[in-house]
């Protein structure tokens, strides 16, 4: 988890907010297809699971606005960050 935290270049507070929001989004009982993307090691085709997970993450960052909130040009540390939203949204 520490590698992920470091690679995202977020403050500890930003990371915790992002992590909590992502958990709520992915585990929302109204969207069981999201839940199917997490916690299924060894049960299904891993490439298909990764593709579905990528789609969920993309939706979370774009549609829910978390890409702009965490990686946009007006966020804390944006001037020194390598990852910028939306220019590098597929990274």
pLDDT of residue 40: 55
Q: Which two tokens stand for residue 43?
A: 């049960």
Which domain range does residue 30 map to? 2-80
Whether 86 is in a domain gets the answer no
Whether 45 is in a domain gets the answer yes
Whether 91 is in a domain gets the answer no
Whether 88 is in a domain gets the answer no
Q: How far apart are CA 63 and CA 17, in angstroms?
A: 17
Alpha-carbon torsion, ordered 26, 2, 70, 28, to 10 deg: 10
Whether 87 is in a domain gets the answer no
Give Dmax (Cα) for the chain. 42
pLDDT of residue 41: 59
pTM: 0.81
> Is residue 85's pLDDT more than 60?
yes
Q: How many separate domains does the chain show? A: 1
For residue range 25-64, what is the model confidence (pLDDT) as tens digits?
999 999 998 888 776 555 566 788 888 889 999 999 999 9
């Amino acid at each position: 988890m520490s590698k992920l935290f470091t690679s995202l270049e977020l403050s500890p507070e930003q990371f915790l907010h992002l992590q909590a929001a992502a958990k709520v989004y992915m585990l929302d009982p109204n969207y069981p297809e999201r839940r199917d993307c997490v916690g299924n090691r060894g049960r299904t085709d891993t490439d298909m699971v990764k593709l579905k997970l990528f789609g969920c993450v993309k939706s979370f960052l774009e549609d829910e606005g978390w890409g702009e909130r965490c990686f946009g040009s007006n966020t804390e540390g944006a001037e020194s960050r390598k990852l910028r939203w939306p220019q590098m949204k597929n990274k």
